[in-house]
Chain A
């Protein structure tokens, strides 16, 4: 309990909560615009593919730019770009794919802003980036529901604009924090005997697997809007819980336990909502752990490190656009094999240092 209190009670967690809201607003406007454009069209699956490609992949380059120019307020730039994109969608000019690109780049800028601020203010804790990433799940479902219920553009645009003061405020926390290099020095979760390049590749592979599995989870129980909301809320809670538990009980224990324990719940929860939701929550807990591993080796470049995780997410989702396993048994076999692969990789690349959290407590 002391560990949990320590994870949630650090003074700079305010910056993470600010970015929780900014991330929420970001996903609301993005998924609102996507749902409005795509609707029920079967041809329009290209639209989400282009969105995934240009919202996720360029984050590495934008992150690198932000690492080189730390004064840049990428959060505000992103929110302004997304607001402009929503206005252009509303006016139906200059063309849906050009506007989509503006939306994607805005999304990427905001994510990089959140990653940089939360990593720099975290003093090596995972709870900060975990709280930031959790906001997205709530935003995705909110954006979809707003679009499906015919809510006009202007309230969504106002919601996005309301996040700008939050981004400016979060920037003041960043200014008061240590430099990116000093802040990232507190991240020492990667196994010291393994080459940093191998750590980056393995952590990215884990993200790819998680991205793929995230879409492949059998959820025959999900039939009503309320059940869909429950699924996304559980994902968000799981992402935040992963960082908090990693700070409290150790990153290796949390990673191995959550990935291993999630599998039976996911496999046998196809028709049982509660069983499936437990699995989804456990499964979502590894989100911040992979980021912490890459930051541990790419010290001083938190933006570039975050970019690797988003590239992994895109590569994990690409197969979903081209093929799906229609038989549940095939799906479960694939999930079991991929989970074992992830467990082996995590056991190898995460440092055996369960005293890490004690050091964090002493450092704060």
Chain B
């Protein structure tokens, strides 16, 4: 058996229902923004990792000022 409480409950009529919809709208918006921020961060990190990998693959940079 499962007991349900839905947005059509008598306790949720009028401004309470509007309020709860507003809360969930705000929550969804924040989750979307968080996802975008995390995606940007991961992209930035991948670029840094690729740059570090490229630098490591090239080996030590020779000292060009050494005229010997």
Binding site for B on A (CB under 8 A): 42-43, 46, 49-50, 53-54, 57-58, 60-61, 64, 97, 196-197, 200, 297-301, 304, 307-308, 311, 314, 321-327, 330
Contacts and interface: CB of A to CB of B under 8 A. Distances in A.
Interface of B: 1-6, 11-12, 16, 19-20, 23-24, 26-27, 30-31, 33-34, 37-39, 41-42, 45
14 contacts: A46-B12, A46-B19, A53-B23, A54-B26, A57-B26, A58-B30, A60-B33, A64-B34, A64-B37, A97-B19, A197-B38, A307-B34, A308-B38, A322-B5
B41 A298 contact: yes
A325 B27 CA distance: 25
A304 B3 contact: no
B34 A60 contact: yes
Nearest to B12: A46
B27 A314 contact: yes
Main secondary structure of the interface of A (DSSP, over half): helix
Nearest to A46: B16
Nearest to A199: B42
A326 B5 contact: no
Given A196-B42, A307-B34, A53 B27 contact: yes
A60 B33 CA distance: 9
A178 B23 CA distance: 38
Contacts, number: 75
Contacts of A64: 34, 37
Given A46-B19, A49-B23, A57-B31, A301 B41 contact: yes
**Which one of B11, B12, B38, B41 has the highest number of Cβ atoms from chain A below 10 Å of its Cβ?**
B38
B1 A323 contact: no
B3 A323 contact: yes
Contacts of B2: 323-326, 330
B40 to A, nearest CB: 10
A38 to B, nearest CB: 14
Contact of B6 (A307, A308, A322, A324): A322
Nearest to B16: A46
Contact of A297 (B1, B5, B23, B42): B42
Nearest to B5: A322
Nearest to B10: A43
Nearest to B29: A57
A200 B3 contact: no
B23 to A, nearest CB: 5
B27 A57 contact: yes
Given A46-B20, A321-B5, A323-B2, A61 B33 contact: yes
A326 B1 contact: yes
B34 A61 contact: yes
A304 B10 CA distance: 39
Contacts of A307: 34
Given A64-B37, A307-B34, A322-B4, A50 B23 contact: yes
Interchain residue pairs A-B with the least CB separation, the first 5: A60-B34, A323-B4, A326-B1, A57-B30, A53-B23
